[in-house]
Amino acid sequence: MKALGGVYGYVMQSSPPAVLVDLVYLRISQINNCAYCLDMHTRDLLKKGQKIEKLALVQAWAEGGNLFDERERAALAWAETVSHVAETGVPDEAYQAARAVFEERELVYLTIAISLMNVYNRMAISFRNRDRDGGLTGPESPGLSLWTARLRGHDSDKIEALSRTDNTMPSPANGVS
């Protein structure tokens, strides 16, 4: 779990911009039907000043007209292609289209972000994490709530208190890292 948190921090400190990455996270969460992540990323984007009209059309971004700029359209297309890799095999045309907009380094970061969100969605869905507000409690999976809290940078005292009471979550507090 620590490793995933490290990758998350790496992605958020690298390019492309955080809002673009969050739009990609929202689209991937739509593809994977992850209610927890859909709620979280929608709220994050709203807090960052994104308009509800735009967020409502992320799933139909290709028909969204001027709501999405060239980089956003390319990132969302790449997110769909990479997320459906078992079905699409990532066609050469999709790669070339993404490379026409993103430098290789940016595309690497974006692909890491896409892969990471696919993992997060699978974790949240598998462990029944349905806590709407990203809080530190979740009756159906307190371990995943703690994991999510750690990734989202919640108060370290609260995280430490949960670590002492929640042995389902690998953490330094219970001897696992």
* C-alpha distances out from residue 133 to 9, 11, 118, 167, Å: 21, 23, 20, 23
Is the CATH code 1.20.1290.10 the one for domain 16-111?
yes
pLDDT tens figures, 82-126: 999 999 899 899 999 999 999 999 999 999 999 999 998 888 888
Distance CA 121, CA 124 (A): 5
* C-alpha distances out from residue 69 to 13, 17, 129, Å: 22, 13, 33
Mean pLDDT, range 53-73, rounded to an integer = 96
| Terminal Cα-to-Cα distance of the chain (whole angstroms) | 7
